[in-house]
Structures are given as C-alpha cells and as structure tokens.
Amino acid sequence: MKNIGVIGGGSWGTALAILLGKKGYNVDLWIRNNNQVEKMKRARENVRYLPGVILPENININNDMLKTIHKKDIILLAVPSHAVRNVLEKMYNHVDANQVIVNVAKGVEQNTLFRVSEIVKEILPESSYAILSGPSHAEEVAKDMPTAVVVASETRKVAEYVQKVFMAPKFRVYTNPDVIGVELGGSLKNVIALGAGISDGLGYGDNTKAALMNRGIIEISRLGEKMGADKNTFAGLSGIGDLIVTCTSMHSRNRRAGIKIGEGYSFEDAKESVGMVVEGIKTAKSAYQLAKEYNVRMPICEEIYGVLYKDKDVKNSVINLMLRDRKHEMEDIIDNLNCTW
C-alpha cells in the first residue's frame, strides 16, 4: 500500500489522483483554494476541471500542504511550472530524503531558465526526482482511455519504482534515463502548439500544421542536444508523441489559446478565454532566451516569441518563416558529413 501526496488540484493533478486512487493507494490531494476544496468534498467531483468524473473515496481532499506530504512515499508535483519554486520552498524542512518527488509540470522557469529538476536539486538536493511526461490529456486519463507516458530519472531504480506505482491497465508507463530530454520535450512542445493554434486561427490547413510540427521538433531536438539531451528522446513519447497530441487536440489549452491569437486576440485575452494556465506563453520567452544562450537556430520559437512579446503581426511571421534562406532539410547532418553533395 502506497501513500501518495498530490500537490495541485487542476485537471492533471486530479486525473492522476483518480488513477492512483483506483489502484487502491491512499491519496491526499492538496488544493490551494479552500472554497474549491469544500465543493469537491461535497460533490466528490472536480466540477471546474473534470466535470462528470467521480473521485474515489480513498482520495482525501484538503488545503493543508504539510499534511498532504507528511509520511508519503511519493510527492506528486502537479502545479504550473512557474509555481514549483514557491511550493518547494514551503516544503523545505518537511520532506524526507526517502520520499520521491515526481513532477508532471511542463515548463522552464523564467529568469533562471531552470528546468524543474534543477529547481528541485537546488531546494531539495537530497530528494530523489522523476519526471512523468508524454501525450496525456487529463480528460482522457480520468475516463480510463488508453494512454502511454514516460518516466525519466537519473537513477534507474527510481524510474522503475515510479513506473510500477503508476502503471495501470489503461495507463502504460515507459522508462527513460534522459531527464533533460523528457523535460525539454514536454515544455517546448507547448510553444509549437501555440503556433499550431495560431495557424488554425489564421485559417491555414493541414499542410501548414504538418510543416510546423515537423520543423518544430527539429528545433526542440537541436536545442536539446546542445543542452545535453539524447536526440532519440525527441522521437519518443515526450517528444513527437506529446507534440502531436498538443498540436492537434482541442483538449490542448496551448492550441486553444493559439487559435484565439490567430483570430486577433491579445495573448492576455486568449489566456482568459481558455480559463486555465497556458504554459506555452511563459515558455516561449524561456525558449527564446535558451536559444540565444546556446546559440541555436529556432526560427519558429523566435517568431512565436515575437508575436507574444514584440507585437509582431502573425501573418508577417508566417511570411518570415516561409521566405528564410534556402536550407537542406537535414542541414545538421549535411554539415557534419563533409560530403560534396
């Protein structure tokens, strides 16, 4: 019997709490807003984020973070990436070295440009850490629709432990040692998904989106390799897998926000229309800064950053991308071959 504390009662935190509760684990679910706590206790349902999905009775909903993490085998971080540091600082001195931190937030911290694993290492250096990521809409996981994800940790023992805890008949979990790649794939695909939504909002078609997704994963893997990731990770669940689902589904808050921006809304109004955190908006700035820091060509991310933060016209951004200097499709490979082709 595992005891698990889930920090964050949005759609994804709630969906994973339900998954773990159905496996028979004791689950404490911490939610910041006490009014929402009381509503969920009465209804046994997260009406705001996952209407119609009943919470198992072994999920205890509360507003006490320290109680939620006390004597838990796993602490699941399911808050937006920009809130991770604040949450961890509140946990400081209350986390046991034997507890495993499992993160499901997808983003890069602004200013520091830290991935979540780096924030955890700074604040809780003795804790074991794993990232759970992949193509996984909360709305579908909560309804037991077959889903495959990946868990990455620097330690194989930790990755396989988390894999065993989360594995379920409709929730398949793979392992991967590449923490950097899994974190970057899950974070940066949100920026490309914003671009896919913008394309939809402009009225462009499947050709445009396919090109955007394909060249987008190349940009992500190019930066990932420079940062120490394995390029093969970006062909997996947290790379192209997560990119596909986020760029094509209306469950994707990043795509929905992008559609509004393409239709002419400001990104603030687009965020408000979605009604949930749109990670890609903050991550677009971090991606732009990382590209500069590592001297990596990321033209799609650069144009999306320009649209969000420099008031660039979206149609002009499309023209800029289409009329860039002529390139080889596999330019990095061609450059390294030293051939006369």
Residues labelled catalytic: 189
Tokens 């992949």 map to which residue?
A: 134
Tokens, residue 275: 């009604």
Residues 151-157: contacts with CB under 8 Å, at least 24 apart: 151/102, 151/175, 151/176, 152/176, 152/177, 152/178, 152/179, 152/181, 152/182, 152/183, 152/238, 153/128, 153/129, 153/177, 153/179, 154/129, 154/179, 155/128
CB 29 within 8 A of CB 50: no
Cα–Cα distance list, 309 to 278, 301, 302 (Å): 15, 12, 10
Taking the C-alpha atoms of residue 222 and residue 95, their distance in angstroms, rounded to an integer, is 36
CA torsion 288-106-11-48 (nearest 10°) is -30
Taking the C-alpha atoms of residue 249 and residue 336, their distance in angstroms, rounded to an integer, is 37
